[in-house]
Amino acid sequence: MIRAELIIGVKDVQESSKWYQGLLSCKSNHGGDTFEILANPDGSTILCLHKWGEHEHPTITDPAIQPGNGLIVYLRIDDLKTVWEKAQELNAVIEQPPHVNENSGMEEFAIRDPDGYYLLISL
């Protein structure tokens, strides 16, 4: 089996963790100021958050660069309506409201997280 576990650089790990937990109803599987693992209720990893500049990882050293350049955080979820409502409650920057993607035929919407990452959320 192969499974990707995405790690993104963030300014404030605890604030980003709180935001993602509010959006996705996920839980903290690590906690801390420099690294966080966000997981589904079954414990499977959804996303990891890493503080910019910590631990000398070469791709997350400079918080001045545009976060997410060349990256789409694509999240498949079961309940689009609930996550859309949570995105609005969190005052997420809306890039595209819910719509049917003409290529996939799936309903989706796009928002930005607090660090500016582009999230495409789809059924």
Query: Among 36-40, 49-53, 55-59, 113-117, whose mean pLDDT is lowest?
Result: 55-59
Instruction: Return the CA Rg of the chain.
Output: 14
Q: Which residue's entry shows tokens 């999230």?
A: 119
pLDDT at 53: 84
Q: Which residue's entry shows tokens 């910590």?
A: 54
pLDDT, one tens digit per residue, over 65-122 is 887 888 999 999 999 999 999 999 999 999 999 999 999 999 999 999 999 999 999 9
Between 1 and 49, whose confidence is greater?
Answer: 49
**Non-local CB neighbours of 18 within 8 Å, separated by 6+ positions:** none
Measured from the Cβ of residue 42, the count of other Cβ atoms closer than 10 Å reads 5
* CA gap 11, 71 in Å, rounded: 17
pLDDT at 51: 95
Provide the angle, in degrees to the nearest 10, between the axes of the packed helices 80-89 and 13-24: 140
**The pair of three-digit structure tokens given for residue 28, joined into one six-digit string:** 């903290």
What predicted TM-score, i.e. pTM, was given to this entire model?
Answer: 0.91
**The pair of three-digit structure tokens given for residue 36, joined into one six-digit string:** 């966080």
* CA gap 90, 22 in Å, rounded: 8
Q: Does domain 7-122 have CATH number 3.40.50.300?
A: no
**The pair of three-digit structure tokens given for residue 100, joined into one six-digit string:** 């049917």
For the chain, what are the domain ranges? Answer: 7-122
